Amino acid sequence: MTTRFKLVVEFDGRPFMGWQYQDHGPSVQGALEAAVERITGEQALVQSAGRTDAGVHALAMVAHVDIARPMTPFRLMEALNAQLRPDPVAVLACEVAPPDFHARFSATARRYRYRIVNRRAPLTLEAGLAWRVPTPLDHAAMHAAAQLLVGHHDFTTFRSVQCQAASPVKTLDRLVVMRHGDEVVVETQARSFLHHQVRSMVGALKFVGTGKWSARDLERALAARDRAALPVNAPPDGLYFTGVDYATDTDADTDD
């Protein structure tokens, strides 16, 4: 008899090849599964709400794992955090979940945040944690153009050629651009995203922000349904998985 545990995980993506287990380098999933095995002696699969790329971070990734050994959620969380050191991965919360709960397939919405530091000086403390864009950005123009991407569209232009999704059609619920001093923040939400979709959208919006593209250019790129119409892909440094909602959540804002 196993117990299904729901985990909320924070991680710095810089040392990892991404969330998913990789043969050619460390992964967040691999670090968590190794920690579970050291604690319980069990080779358990840790499944997440999303699969982040190399260098992408998470403030609140949700995952689940089935464990046969009797443990309280608090004890499991403490043990995992002890075993995960010195990897930059932390379990922020742990609770018993229903047997039919699935971190990926039960999700109703996922949220991402992208951080741009808009300044001439190089990054020191934030290196690898944000995208430095030295050219001034018009965040209001970026936000206005971003609204053209909200809704139900064919996002082929913003899809990686390695994307394995059955369809390029997605419904984007929210895409906002804000400025806080030197930092320009892009936040987005959808039930699911295509591979590289968020980074591709941010890359295109950066072109709008620098004045190289108009909102009409962004609209044309979307309509082209052609990856070649994309000007640049934003680097993984500034991308954060910030949260996921489930139909059974009493408080949907479990922000990542």
pLDDT at residue 43 tops 60: yes
118 is a domain residue: yes
Instruction: Measure the CA–CA gap between 48 and 256, rounded to whole angstroms.
Output: 14
- Whether the CB-CB separation of 7 and 64 falls below 8 Å is answered with yes
Domain ranges, residue 179: 107-246
Packing angle of the helix pair 28-40, 73-84 (nearest 10 deg): 120
- Whether the CB-CB separation of 255 and 231 falls below 8 Å is answered with no
53 is catalytic: yes
Same domain assignment for residues 114 and 237: yes
pLDDT confidence bin for 249, thresholds 50/70/90 = low
Query: Among residues 74, 96, 118, which one ends one of the domains?
Result: 96
Sign of CA dihedral 163, 238, 174, 63: positive
Is the pTM for the entire model greater than 0.85? yes
CATH code, domain with 124: 3.30.70.660
Same domain assignment for residues 78 and 162: no
Same domain assignment for residues 117 and 186: yes
pLDDT digits (tens, 9 = 90+) for 65-76: 999 999 999 999
pLDDT of residue 227: 93
CATH code, domain with 47: 3.30.70.580
Same domain assignment for residues 145 and 66: no
205 is a domain residue: yes
DSSP for the chain? --EEEEEEEEE--TTSSBSS--SSS--HHHHHHHHHHHHHS-----EES--PBTT-EEEEEEEEEEE-S---HHHHHHHHHHHHTTSSEEEEEEEE--TT--TTTTEEEEEEEEEEE--SSPPSTTBTTBEE--S---HHHHHHHHTTTSEEEE-GGGS-TT---S-SEEEEEEEEEEEETTEEEEEEEES---TTHHHHHHHHHHHHHTTSS-HHHHHHHHHHT-GGG---PPPGGGEEEEEEEETT-SS-----
Catalytic residue among 12, 23, 53, 251: 53
pLDDT at residue 166 tops 80: yes
Same domain assignment for residues 60 and 148: no
37 is a domain residue: yes
pLDDT of residue 24: 86
251 is a domain residue: no
The mean pLDDT value for 45-64 works out to 96
28 is a domain residue: yes
237 φ/ψ angles, rounded to the nearest 5 degrees? -50, -45
pLDDT of residue 252: 33
Same domain assignment for residues 76 and 125: no
Across the chain, mean pLDDT equals: 94
The mean pLDDT value for 153-157 works out to 97
What is the number of structural domains in the chain? 2
253 is a domain residue: no
CA angle 94, 100, 104 (to 5 degrees): 70
